[in-house]
Amino acid sequence: MVEKPPNPSEKARLRRELLTARRALSADALRTSARALSRSACELPELAGARTVAAYVSVGSEPGTRDLLDALLAAGKRVLLPVLLPDNDLDWAAYEGPGSLAEAAHPGKMRLLEPAGPRLGPDAVTGADAVLLPGLAVDGRGMRLGRGGGSYDRVLARLARAGAHPALVVLLYDEEVVARVPEEPHDHPVQAVATPSGVVRFTA
């Protein structure tokens, strides 16, 4: 039997629910979760053994990544951070510490912190050993629900075209690991999820 494609409204409804829950988190809860998330993620073999990690700077009520970025840098990792391009694709630049971030205002886009160093090109991500992905949920199969902007769909497609196979790790809050998320043909499973309370790995 052919499985029906997901109803777009199903993804939209789930995204609304998850974003509403995130917005309800207090500043203290966000700070505490960010510290715990950094500890959890650093325990993952996929990150411990990586030389280059493509990560991102969290915004708003996303699971906080700033502590994790500094921990990766302190562990001697090369950390790449995204730079949002006008067409929603991502360029990359190296993270060199908190002072290397600058606010970038994109017309019609969120206000983001981006690395101020030289741009390395969209293909730089293909050299990463691990890629940290933002998301809103992941299910027991490792299928990830993103925010719907499409930037990381392009990243994943670029990795596939290049034949690159970095570890894919999504960073979430504990309650965002769910039974099932709507899935489309272009969606890629992740290898692991890190949350403030620990990690779940979907492949050996």
Annotation: binding site for substrate: 57, 62
Which residue in 1, 20, 17 sits closest to 181, CA to CA? 17
* Residue at 21: amino acid letter: A
Residue list for the binding site:
11-15, 57, 62, 144-152
Residue list for the binding site for ATP:
11-15, 144-152
* Residue at 16: amino acid letter: R
Q: Which own/partner contact pairs does 18-23 have at CB distance under 8 Å and 24+ positions apart?
A: 18/136, 18/137, 18/145, 18/176, 19/136, 21/175, 22/60, 22/61, 22/62, 22/173, 23/61
Which residue in 194, 128, 188, 104 sits closest to 152, CA to CA? 188
Q: How is the beta sheet containing 137-139 ordered, strand by strand?
A: 144-145, 137-139, 177-178
